[in-house]
Amino acid sequence: MSVSGWSGSVNEKVDFKTSLDSYGAKRGEFRVLDVPELRYLAIDGHGDPNVSPEYAEALAALYPVAYKLKFASKRELGRDYVVPPLEGLWWAEDMAAFTANRDKSRWSWTMLLLMPQWLGDEAVAAAVAAAGETTGKKRPPVRLGEVELRTLAEGRCVQTLHVGSYDDEAEVLARMHDEFMPAEGLVFAGTHHEIYLSDPRRVAPEKLRTILRQPVRAAG
């Protein structure tokens, strides 16, 4: 594996969670790091992810494209990798709806899946087309046409690992925003970012592992 964590020998299965430094975080520790420019499959939406059909439809469109890319990479390039964990950018007009009273109906979001750097626009277009093919009674995802390839340049960030329910993140975020960042002379410089290391369908809420990331810059 190269220092960058991107490259692997042919037939070596790459897992970006262990090879990229930007996935490094510890519980109870706020870490300042420089996140490199990364590319993602992305789709936007609004509303409570627990009940919003829009959110469920977004994931139903995102994952088939991601797996078509993975299989094509292995088949055509001899480069296999683990599909990276789901990530999300989250915001609200009044951030208190996100960090304090947790009014999820007011949240906007962009759901993301990291793309290997060796796959480009043509590979994504081919994967979207393949995901849209119908077989028998199976219909293509309704939001498939909204999946895009985007570049995210977050730069300097603060991140930590939260273990527990998503609804219990507020206390950790308050410490990050109101204690750690001011003490380090840092202010907000981007959208709140979460990386879901656990599958909520298989892991109990109190054991969920989520990286909480906030892009920052020096105050003043």
**pTM (predicted TM-score):** 0.91
CA–CA distance from 219 to each of 35, 119, 180 (Å)? 19, 37, 13
Residue-level pLDDT, tens digit, the chain, 220 residues = 333 455 555 568 999 999 999 999 999 999 999 999 999 999 999 999 989 999 999 999 999 999 999 999 999 999 999 999 999 999 988 766 666 666 788 889 999 999 999 999 999 999 999 999 876 677 889 999 999 999 999 999 999 999 999 989 989 999 999 999 999 999 999 999 999 999 999 999 999 999 999 999 999 8
H-only helix segments in the chain: 16-19, 53-72, 96-99, 121-131, 169-175, 181-183
Helix (H, G, I), strand (E, B) or coil at 176: helix
